[in-house]
Structure formats: C-alpha cells, structure tokens
Structure 1
Amino acid sequence: MKTLNGHLLEEMAARLEALGNTTRLAIFRALVKAGTNGANVGAIQNAVGIPASTLTHHIQKLVKAGLVSQKRHSRELICRAEYDAMDMTIDYLKEECCQGLGQLQRKIDQL
C-alpha cells in the first residue's frame, strides 16, 4: 500500500463516506454478490428495492468514490464492484486505523 498522504486519506474518506449510507452499502453489497460480471441497473433495483432515480444518484456516488464501475453493453448499463478498491480500503483500515491494537489488547488482557 502507498504511504499515507493527503490524497490517499481523501480517497479513503470518500470511499468510507459513500459506504456510510445504508442504501449505498446495500447496492455495493449486491454488486459484490453479483461477482465480476456485475449486474444491470434493473437487477440492482430489484435487489435493493428503491426507485430508479434514487438508485442512479446512489450509484453515481459509488462510481465517484471509485468503488463501482459502469459499462454500457448494448442497451444495458452494467455496474461492477471494484474489488481492488474494496481490498485497498479494507487494507487501509487494517493497516492504518487498527495499528497498535495488538498492544492495546495485550494491556487489556493483563488487567
């Protein structure tokens, strides 16, 4: 993982903000479950159960955060979870935010 800098911090904050909304988290979860082939907007709408206009807004936030990509295939718009971005975000949380927790747990265990 790259060293922590302002750009990376902003990128991670944008991803976490996007996933901090329950609707967007449900959309992302549906796309992760859909696998590498992704899902069309209609399938996502059925999985999440929200109106198309609302869905579009939420998908765009996920795209802007780099967590979802879109590709037009004929008349369908296919959305895919960006697994590399997901993995990088998880790694960031483990490496940067949880750093030193092992030492804290040992201190708690000694009490």
Structure 2
Amino acid sequence: MEKEIALDALAALGQETRLDVFRLLVQAGQEGMTAGAIADALGVLPNTLSTHLGVLSRSGLVHATREGRSMIYKADLSSMQELVRFLLQDCCGGNPDLCGPLVAALSCTSEPAC
C-alpha cells in the first residue's frame, strides 16, 4: 500500500461518524446495509450520512452495490487488512514473537477473555 492511500484511509476514519459507519458496516458483514438503515442505526441525518459515505467510498474502505432500487454499502475488509498490514509491516523490528500479543488481541472473539 502506498503512503498516500494509507493517509486517505486514516483521514477518512479520523472522524467520529465515519468511524462509527465503518464499524457498523464491519458488523453487518457481507449483507451490508442501506444508507437508510445506517442513518437509523446511528441517528445521522441522511444528507450528512451521504457525505460521510462518499468520503469512506473514495478512501476505498466502503463499497456500494446496487440491489434493485437500493444501494447496499459494505465495508471493504481487504482494504482495511492492507491498511493494518501497512501500519504494522515493520512491527517490532521484524521479530514476529514480539507481535504475538497484538495478533492474539486481533484474533480474540470473546470480549471478557480479551
């Protein structure tokens, strides 16, 4: 990943509503959500949400597909994986043992155990 692409993605996520939208879409999984459902879930005005979805889409973190008359928004997890890989590519001076706690935290699925 190029630095400029990483900066765009980080800037997109550096705003509270956009971060909330991205996290909600991650939870929604491959089914995604319509803009109306996102707006309802987060209590965001539709025109404001449209702006945020545009920023997330341009950053590559969210993609929209048309299904009938609706646009379905989905988080692009491969873009997020590339971003995390970019951020951590030099983790711990290349010593993978030192990155073990980070990997364990990322793979943990039950909150109390994490």
TM-score, scaled relative to structure 1 = 0.80
Please show how residues 19-58 of structure 1 align to structure 2 within 5 Å.
19-58=13-52
What's the secondary structure of 2:85's corresponding residue? helix
- 1:100 Cα offset (Å): 3.2
* Pick aligned residue for 2:69 from 68, 72, 75: 75
2:56 pairs with 1:62 = yes
CA-to-aligned-CA distance 1:56-94 (integer Å, 9 cap, x gap): 000000000000000111111100100100111111111
CA-to-aligned-CA distance 1:21-40 (integer Å, 9 cap, x gap): 01100000000000011111
Cα distance in 2 for partners of 1:47, 1:21 equals: 17
Which blocks of at least 5 consecutive residues in structure 2 are unaligned? 99-114
TM-score, scaled relative to structure 2 = 0.78
Aligned length: 96
Q: RMSD in angstroms over aligned alpha carbons?
A: 1.7
Cα distance in 2 for partners of 1:75, 1:95 equals: 41
| Rg comparison, structure with higher value | 1
Q: Percent identity?
A: 36
Which blocks of at least 5 consecutive residues in structure 1 are unaligned? 3-7, 106-111
- 1:101 Cα offset (Å): 9.0
Cα distance in 2 for partners of 1:99, 1:41 equals: 40
Whichever structure has more helix as a proportion of its residues is: 2
